[in-house]
Structure 1
Amino acid sequence: MIQLAEFSLTKVKQLKSTKIWKKISLLFPFSCLFIVFGFLLLIANVVKPNSVFIVEKNLVLGFDELLPPPKPYPVNKGAAVLPELTAKSVVIQDIDSSVILYQREPDLRLFPASTTKMMTGLVAYEAYPLNEILTVGEIKMDGNRINLVFGEQITVENLLYGLLVGSGNDAAEVLGANYPGGMSAFILAMNKKAVDLKLTNTNFTNPIGLDEVNHYSSALDLARLAGYLTNNQVLAKIVSTPEITITDVSGAIKHTLKNTNELTGKVDGVKGVKTGWTKNAGECLVTFVEKDGRKIIISLLGSGNRFGETQKLIDWVFNNFEWKVIVPSSYR
């Protein structure tokens, strides 16, 4: 062992006397500077100027960790008076923060009418490819139709436009009837999705929104459903379409559709989502608004003036709230 150590020491002394060692000695400080410069460059690209970060002590691992920037939260300035409303149940929700801006009887179980079709469209979208062709059978359900023809062959995508833009009961029936297991299996899938989305005051017995004892939802549940639906790019595009003409696969049969949400394409920021009306439900409207970089959902059930009240609520929100980054005092 002593001889091995003496041998290693001798080799080191010999290396120090060589030109290679002198080159290493000269390059070492520059190598260190290069590494430090590279690290600083990396930090400059990752941590951008004007970004807001919070450093929190990790209690498990015992070191500071960098948290993502906090989201802006809506703050009520109290600048505008809430408009008078006839709606039995109302929810206004900021999508990005999930903050409820206003609510009236948010969990009240009411007939949702054709706002039901948001769930019908969501289940159909997840069950079928958009280009799948379905055949129109005998239409048994009454109510609003887009006038599908018996035997007509039409894509799922066009049926979704008929369902969510034109509010066609016949489109809903075709999507449900062609589902594996038939209409009853489709309704089970609707209720399973409601459970998955934690819609605790919702139950469906049909894909259309016909008034039935065990067919109900709430303004809060429908706001959550609309938020989930509009997060899907395909469905968000469909519900935001003011008007469109769809055809069967041959192009011979045409259906001209106009969005039943009259605010879509007319009121700044309105991008869908779904209307509803029956004698028992009254006027129902769930609306997605994207304006000034903010996204909100307004859900009204049992209204006497759904379009007028929704428009007033849009103005109230954007006159009354400002969005601020709020850093908890414990993190400052």
Structure 2
Amino acid sequence: MKRAFLVLVAVLFAAVSHAQEGEAFMVVEAHSGKVFSAANSVVKRPIASLTKIATGVITVDWADATGTDLSKVEAVVPPSVQAVGGPNPMSLQPGDRISLRDALYAALLGSDNLAALTVANHVGQEMLRARGKTGDGVAAFVTEMNELGKAINLTKTRFVTPHGLDPAKGGGFSTAADVAKLSIYAMRKPGFTFITRQKDRQVTVQGAAGPRSFNVKNTNEMIGEPGILGVKTGTTNAAGPCLSVASDRDPLVREKPDGEKAVTPRRLIVVVLNNPDRFNRARGLLRQGWDSYDRWVAAGAPIQDREKEILNVPNPR
């Protein structure tokens, strides 16, 4: 009996491991929350730089709440960037200065880990200062990321860094469904959407030898295609190639019996985790998603099981 139980446990473990190694995806209409297709969408796994979606949201929300102009506030690159791995395309060094706006462009478009850490350190320190506290700005910022996760029902997500290059032990995780929720919330923010839809951006770093300029290109190769607004790419060995993308169509307009017009906005969010051909996979899922959406609307937009069919994303802030 004991042997049979151990075999069953081994089989279940293997099944879970296989699911984590394979692709996960979700296709959802952002305004209605209607899910059109998904696979392995609630399996916890690393999400690499899709983490930076939360970093961007926290920063934009903080700027809105405090009336801060991100282009007019300079952040100092902290010493802790020296412990961050990955590329350093802008050769950021401790003590360099960069506007929060430019650092956010570098983090969200170019997926720059050091820029993301610089943003988190500055905003986190400002949050601590506003509360009359001192401490680790990055840690305070990551706490805010996790508080946001709770507020918008990211029930299977944990953030441990602002950039997604997580430590091997105790790393962050999320799911395709939670990334879809986060993306829906993020794309409600005009300041966030404006950034992620840019193909490239010129940024400036003030260093010891003077200013340095860089052209930061968007790592999302789908930007520029019709209707594409963002959102973010990510890749690590643990997570594989990942992508969240938003696609808009013109709103549906119909006349109501009282003569007024009803306007229905249309936006699909596609999240693809761990697919080496993530961009083409997302294109295919978008085509299928819009076809499914059109059929759904033509049938009267029926909902049979709201809990299973609708992805609920609150708007707490």
Residue 44 of structure 2 contacts residue 174 of structure 2 at CA under 8 Å; is this kept in 1?
yes
Residue 200 of structure 2 contacts residue 217 of structure 2 at CA under 8 Å; is this kept in 1?
yes
**What's the offset of the Cα at 1:126?**
2.5
Q: What code does the residue aligned with 2:230 have? A: G
**What's the offset of the Cα at 1:174?**
0.5
Q: Percent identity?
A: 28
Residue 166 of structure 1 contacts residue 259 of structure 1 at CA under 8 Å; is this kept in 2?
yes
**What's the offset of the Cα at 1:305?**
1.1
Residue 268 of structure 2 contacts residue 289 of structure 2 at CA under 8 Å; is this kept in 1?
no
Q: What are the superposed Cα offsets for residues 12-46 of structure 1, whole Å, 9 maximum, x if unpaired? A: xxxxxxxxxxxxxxxxxxxxxxxxxxxxxxxxxxx
**Alignment counterpart, residue 162 of structure 1, candidates 94, 106, 129:** 106
1:276–1:326 Cα change, 3 Å: same
2:204 equivalent in structure 1: 247
1:280 equivalent in structure 2: 238
Report the 3-state secondary structure (helix = DSSP H, G, I; strand = E; otherwise coil) of the residue aligned with 2:54: helix
Task: For 1:234 and 1:281, locate their aligned partners in 2 and report how far apart those are by CA, in whole Å.
Answer: 28
Residue 89 of structure 1 contacts residue 219 of structure 1 at CA under 8 Å; is this kept in 2?
yes
For the aligned residue pairs, the C-alpha RMSD in angstroms reads: 2.1
Q: What code does the residue aligned with 2:31 have? A: D
Task: For 1:302 and 1:192, locate their aligned partners in 2 and report how far apart those are by CA, in whole Å.
Answer: 26
Residue 76 of structure 2 contacts residue 97 of structure 2 at CA under 8 Å; is this kept in 1?
yes
Task: For 1:327 and 1:285, locate their aligned partners in 2 and report how far apart those are by CA, in whole Å.
Answer: 28
Residue pairs, 1:215-254, within 5 angstroms: 215-248=172-205, 252-254=211-213
Report the 3-state secondary structure (helix = DSSP H, G, I; strand = E; otherwise coil) of the residue aligned with 1:303: coil
Residue 87 of structure 1 contacts residue 304 of structure 1 at CA under 8 Å; is this kept in 2?
no
Q: What code does the residue aligned with 2:198 have? A: T
**What's the offset of the Cα at 1:144?**
3.2
Residue 239 of structure 2 contacts residue 274 of structure 2 at CA under 8 Å; is this kept in 1?
yes
Q: What code does the residue aligned with 1:257 have? A: V
Report the 3-state secondary structure (helix = DSSP H, G, I; strand = E; otherwise coil) of the residue aligned with 2:211: coil
Residue pairs, 1:1-332, within 5 angstroms: 88-128=23-63, 129=68, 130=70, 131-138=72-79, 139-140=81-82, 141-150=84-93, 151-178=95-122, 179-180=124-125, 181=135, 182-211=137-166, 212=168, 213-248=170-205, 252-265=211-224, 267-293=225-251, 294-322=266-294, 323-324=297-298, 326=300
The count of residues paired between Structure 1 and Structure 2 equals 242
2:259 equivalent in structure 1: none
Instruction: Compare 146-155 and 176-185 and name the one that shifted more.
Output: 146-155
Residue 114 of structure 1 contacts residue 276 of structure 1 at CA under 8 Å; is this kept in 2?
yes
Q: What code does the residue aligned with 1:143 have? A: G
**What's the offset of the Cα at 1:134?**
0.9
Residue 92 of structure 2 contacts residue 114 of structure 2 at CA under 8 Å; is this kept in 1?
no
**What's the offset of the Cα at 1:306?**
0.5
Q: What are the superposed Cα offsets for residues 110-158 of structure 1, whole Å, 9 maximum, x if unpaired? A: 1000000001111122334213211123322011334153333221111
Q: What are the superposed Cα offsets for residues 150-197 of structure 1, whole Å, 9 maximum, x if unpaired? A: 333221111111111111001111112222231111111111111111
Q: What code does the residue aligned with 2:178 have? A: D
Residue 48 of structure 2 contacts residue 239 of structure 2 at CA under 8 Å; is this kept in 1?
yes
Q: What code does the residue aligned with 1:145 have? A: N
1:239–1:327 Cα change, 3 Å: closer
Report the 3-state secondary structure (helix = DSSP H, G, I; strand = E; otherwise coil) of the residue aligned with 1:222: helix
Task: For 2:221 and 2:87, locate their aligned partners in 1 and report how far apart those are by CA, in whole Å.
Answer: 16
**What's the offset of the Cα at 1:249?**
6.6
Task: For 1:148 and 1:196, locate their aligned partners in 2 and report how far apart those are by CA, in whole Å.
Answer: 36
Residue 275 of structure 1 contacts residue 286 of structure 1 at CA under 8 Å; is this kept in 2?
yes
Report the 3-state secondary structure (helix = DSSP H, G, I; strand = E; otherwise coil) of the residue aligned with 2:241: strand
Q: Which has the larger radius of gyration?
A: 1
Residue 37 of structure 2 contacts residue 289 of structure 2 at CA under 8 Å; is this kept in 1?
no
1:148–1:231 Cα change, 3 Å: farther
Residue 146 of structure 1 contacts residue 171 of structure 1 at CA under 8 Å; is this kept in 2?
no
1:58 equivalent in structure 2: none
Task: For 1:222 and 1:158, locate their aligned partners in 2 and report how far apart those are by CA, in whole Å.
Answer: 24
Task: For 1:146 and 1:325, locate their aligned partners in 2 and report how far apart those are by CA, in whole Å.
Answer: 50
1:12 equivalent in structure 2: none
User: TM-score, length-normalised on structure 2?
Assistant: 0.71
Q: What code does the residue aligned with 2:193 have? A: A
Task: For 1:177 and 1:187, locate their aligned partners in 2 and report how far apart those are by CA, in whole Å.
Answer: 10
